């Protein structure tokens, strides 16, 4: 199998499997990091000083070190230091370890975006709700939340598109995502070896997916453009 056209069906199949793993990591990260980020942002805004200080130091550590390093530490640390490889050795273990690292990392970035969004809503909005006799929950869910969402959509779309590409970092602990799948054909896999084009071809997947997301976020921004906040 030497010609591109002979190789294509096999490579395409393998890359699809790899990209499915990429998508899974992407989705699980968002599912975990979006709510966790909110909790962290409340922590960093806490009026109890020790809590906010502790949370801010944590956010600083996570945002101040490479995600790749965090992946390696989270994956290898329990096994090497405590002799207790909690993640297990297989693809499932690598996936869970990757998901944990990505969720923590992205939750910290999201928390800072949320904080900006929450603090950006003028205090007068809350006071207007208070003098009308609304409860704190009603003020948050019926008044502040949508204004906050409108403010955070542009920075969140940036982060989420970055996440699409960051999933490739999980390659470092051999998660079988799309880059890993493409690289396999350089070393040799399914009768194809020394082929570099499959690795380059993975770029098409990232481009297509981030293109879809760009359109989606553009649509959301447009949906929210009926009011100014």
Of 138-197, binders to other proteins (CB under 8 A) are 138, 142-143, 146-147, 150
Q: Phi and psi dihedrals of 12, rounded to 5?
A: -55, -45
For other proteins, the closer CB: 18 or 129: 129
Note whether 169 and 68 are within 8 A (CB).
Answer: yes
Is position 134 an interface residue for other proteins (rule: CB under 8 A)? yes
Give the residue from 177, 45, 60 showing the smallest Cα distance to 116. 45
Is position 216 an interface residue for other proteins (rule: CB under 8 A)? no
∠ Cα 206 197 159 (to 5°):
15
Is position 92 an interface residue for other proteins (rule: CB under 8 A)? no
Q: Which of 122, 154, 191, 218 binds other proteins (CB under 8 A)?
A: 122
For other proteins, the closer CB: 136 or 165: 136
* Min separation Cβ 55 and other proteins, Å: 25
What SS3 state is found at 33?
A: helix
* Min separation Cβ 52 and other proteins, Å: 22
Instruction: State whether the Cα torsion 16-173-32-145 is positive or negative.
Output: negative
**Count of residues in contact with other proteins, rule CB under 8 A:** 23
Is position 220 an interface residue for other proteins (rule: CB under 8 A)? no
**Residue 80 to residues 25, 73, 154, 197: CA-CA distances in angstroms?**
25, 10, 41, 36
For other proteins, the closer CB: 90 or 133: 133
Q: Which of 50, 64, 89, 124 binds other proteins (CB under 8 A)?
A: 124
Question: Distance between CA atoms of 111 and 35, rounded to whole angstroms?
Answer: 9
Question: Distance between CA atoms of 185 and 53, rounded to whole angstroms?
Answer: 48
Is position 132 an interface residue for other proteins (rule: CB under 8 A)? yes
Binding region for other proteins (CB under 8 A): 122, 124-125, 127-136, 138, 142-143, 146-147, 150, 226-229
């Amino acid at each position: 199998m030497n010609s591109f056209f002979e190789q294509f069906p096999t490579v395409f199949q393998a890359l699809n499997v790899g990209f499915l793993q990429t998508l899974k990591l992407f989705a699980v990260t968002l599912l975990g990091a979006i709510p966790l980020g909110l909790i962290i942002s409340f922590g960093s805004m806490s009026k109890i000083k020790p809590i906010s200080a502790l949370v801010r130091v944590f956010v600083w550590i996570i945002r101040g070190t490479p995600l790749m390093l965090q992946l390696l530490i989270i994956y290898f640390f329990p096994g090497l230091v405590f002799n207790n490889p909690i993640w297990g050795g297989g693809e499932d273990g690598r996936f869970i370890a990757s998901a944990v690292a990505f969720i923590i990392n992205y939750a910290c970035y999201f928390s800072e975006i949320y904080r900006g969004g929450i603090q950006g809503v003028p205090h007068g909005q809350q006071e207007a709700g208070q003098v009308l006799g609304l409860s704190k929950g009603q003020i948050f869910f019926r008044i502040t939340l949508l204004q906050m969402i409108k403010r955070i959509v542009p920075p969140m779309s940036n982060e989420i598109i970055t996440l699409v590409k960051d999933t490739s970092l999980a390659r470092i602990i051999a998660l079988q995502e799309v880059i890993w799948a493409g690289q396999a054909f350089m070393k040799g896999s399914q009768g194809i070896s020394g082929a570099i084009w499959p690795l380059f071809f993975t770029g098409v997947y990232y481009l297509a997916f981030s293109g879809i997301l760009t359109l989606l976020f553009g649509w959301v921004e447009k949906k929210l453009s009926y009011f100014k906040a």
